Structure formats: structure tokens, C-alpha cells
Structure 1
């Protein structure tokens, strides 16, 4: 009896989901850019291969033009193809396209906070604040340009150590760029062999890799179900939480020696601006 009830419940849930997805796709289709007709629950996954997304989009572009809509599961996605389409959207109509789409796989970490993931007035406030801080750095005692020059000198020394031998520069270039960001945000650079720095780079790389996996994409498309299930799709959450813990520890270090008259980095400036 219990198994029968579970089977009926599952059937009802699936039926409701298909009905909801049908309503969503029909309502969304009325206002969205043209595109292939989605089917309930799956959307356009038959036309867009997750292992060959770019190629699938290019094929759809031939039929629907440089602006079209596809449904990744239950969610509509507007696709812009080509320089002119992107320029028109992000520059000519910047206000209309200034919003941020939600990624369920990382929304649980940030919940709409942060410059990259915020929306509306919250995003505009954070954007203005960040731009003001970076402008202050440009005019301050030690500009970003000077930090870049210092790191470039260090990078050249690392290249000289190879004595002309063939190398893969990916690691060194990643360290260099990351150190410039660290200098601005944390107020200090790291040695390229520093274990804490290497772990930070690993966390960042793994997070981006994990967000690109089919598991994360499946979570983004069907978060209503996936959030209640265990599995690989939860890994990105724990990676980003570890990143947040690292940043929180750096903020505590700043707070312990904070001097509002002598800001050293982005964190210090942020604290000053938020308390003015």
C-alpha cells in the first residue's frame, strides 16, 4: 500500500510539474524573442546539446537570427549572437539589459548579494560604491597601475628562471593576475608557492569548472527538485562556501588593524564608505 501511495504521489508531482512548465513556456513565449517551440518539462533540450551548446546556438541562429529564445528546462534564455547584437543590448540599451539572471547553483550561496549577482537598486548602489573606491585607488598613494607594474616585474623574474625552456605559462599568468586582484582587495600579495594562495586559486578554478558541469546545469534548470536531492550538483555550494570563509577571515584581519585615515585596500575603503 505504501509503495502504491508513493507511486501515485510521484505521478501527481510529475503531472503538476509538466502542467506548470507548459503554462510557463506558453506565457513566456508570448513575450519572448522568437525561437524553437519548447516541450513541457524539457524545454528545448532536444535542440540544445549541453555538451555542444555553442554549436547548437550557431545552428539555431541560422533559422532564428541573432536574437532568439531557448528554454533550458523550465527557464527561458535569450541568446545574443554576434558583435552587433551584443553591442545593441549591452551598450545601446544598457538600462534594459542591466539586470542579472539568477543561477540557482550559486544563488543559495549569495542570495542576491554582491556586485556580480545583485539586482535593481542594490546592484546600482554597490556598483557606484565600487567605482568610487577604484577611482580613489587611482588617485591614491599607490595606484593600481603601480601594483600592476610591480607584479609584472615579479612575473618576468619567474619567466627568467626557466632559462628559455618551453613551459606552460598558464599557472604563472594566473598567479600574476590573481596577485594584482589580491593586492587591491586584500592589501597584500602572495608568494606563488604560498599554500594559502594556491588553495585559493584551486577553489576559484574548481568552482568555475563545477559550474560548467552537466550536474550544475541540471540544478539550474530544475532547482525546484534538485535542491532536495543529494549528489554531485551540491559540490559547487561547498566550494563557494569555502571561498566565502577565506574572504571573511581576511575581513577580520582588516578589522583588527583598521585605520579610517589610512585605507590600505578595497576592504578598508568599503568599511569607510559604508559608515559615512
Structure 2
């Protein structure tokens, strides 16, 4: 059985695996927690809700234009979708950051350590400096459910330390390679202060460099409170981003980071977030 954080959303193991194309070797009963962004918001602590409402009210009182790329976006009311990029930074990242800056959009970057963070600290600094969310995709993309717990912990903690040394910030979010997780991975994530983030939209951009096809796949799957998975390491992905953003905005979406999508809730270490 799968223990749910929210009684409002009943997600079976079968549904979770089918939705995310996971193949898990289950032994016994999986008991890790999973919840949806909307349920996380609905169950946010009262103090967090009050703080969020106060910040929104102060922004309104100041009569300043609402910055939908900033902290005052309210996904309880807005039609939000989170934009995420895995496996970078890469030689394409600066071009992607230029596009996001022009479009006034912030994203969450689930970064790899080996050959990425370790070789491109300038891009990591820029991601952070421009207000994007730093997140963990492990050091070398090993499947965490296939390796011993100590090795899985090193995969996550090594990336945490590398990002902290570069930016002074420690990621709070982690995406397990291939979306494969279990109770052991959840326990390690909790120990390291990491919430796990899966997805609802994938362009499968690792299969194609056709930017038009990538765009179509994203737009066909996107719904409110979704989490879009793209990779800035593939040649066809970044050229698709302007068209994706333009059409999503036209359809009334506010494009946010994962933490903005969950707000006023805060990412809970060990929890698995999946739309």
C-alpha cells in the first residue's frame, strides 16, 4: 500500500507507476508519502497561510504591479504550472536563461553534479542570481533504488555540498533519476532536508531534437497545477521554450517554480510531490 499524506487525494501505487513510467522492484509494502500540489496548499499550516495572505495584501496595498515571477504569485487562485529543467547546467543553459529573463519567467533547475555543476559553476551562480530555484538531481544520475542506501545518500549529499559551496544555498528539492523512489530514498531525502518532485508533463526530449514536436507534447499534456519536465542538455529543447511559454501564457497559465506552486505550503523533506 502507499501511505498518502492527503486524504483528499487517493493515489495508488499502480496509478503512480503508470503516470510516471516507473519500474520499481517492490518488496513488501511501500509506505512513502505522496501528495499533489493542490493538496499541499490546502493543508498548509495556518501560520503559513496567514503569512502568505498578509504578504499578498501588503503588495496590493502598495498598488505595485503583481510580479508573477516573484513571491507574490498565488497559485490558490492563479492557473499555475511549474516549469522544471533536469540534468544541466550545460552549454545551452545561458541561452535558456536569456529566454526566461526576457519572458519574466522563473523555473526550477534539477542539476547534476558530475560534468555539470562541477564544470559550470558560473551557470549555477547565474541560475541562482536570476531568481530561479536550485534543486538536486543527484551527482551522477545513478538510479537511487538500485544502489545501497549509503551510496544513494552520497549521490544526493555530494550535489548539495557542491551547490552550497558555489551559491551559499542548499537545495530543498530533489528529483530522483527516472522518477524512481522508495521508502529508503524517502528516508534519506528527509535526513538531507530534501522533498522529492516528480512530474505530470514530459516532452520526452531525450528522444527527439524536433522543437515543434517538443512544444506540441508539452502543450498537449499541460493542465493546471502540472509540473513540466524538460532537459536543457538536448539540442531541440531550448529552441522550443519561447513557443511553449507564449502559448501557455495565451492559455492563461502563470508559470512558476515548484516551491511557488506549493505555496503557502513549504516543501516537506521526504515527501514525494506529484500532480
Q: What range describes the TM-score normalised by the shorter chain of this pair?
A: under 0.3
Higher relative contact order (CA 8 A, sep 6+): 2
Larger Rg: 1
TM-score by length of 2: 0.28
As a proportion of its length, which structure holds more strand? 2
As a proportion of its length, which structure holds more helix? 1
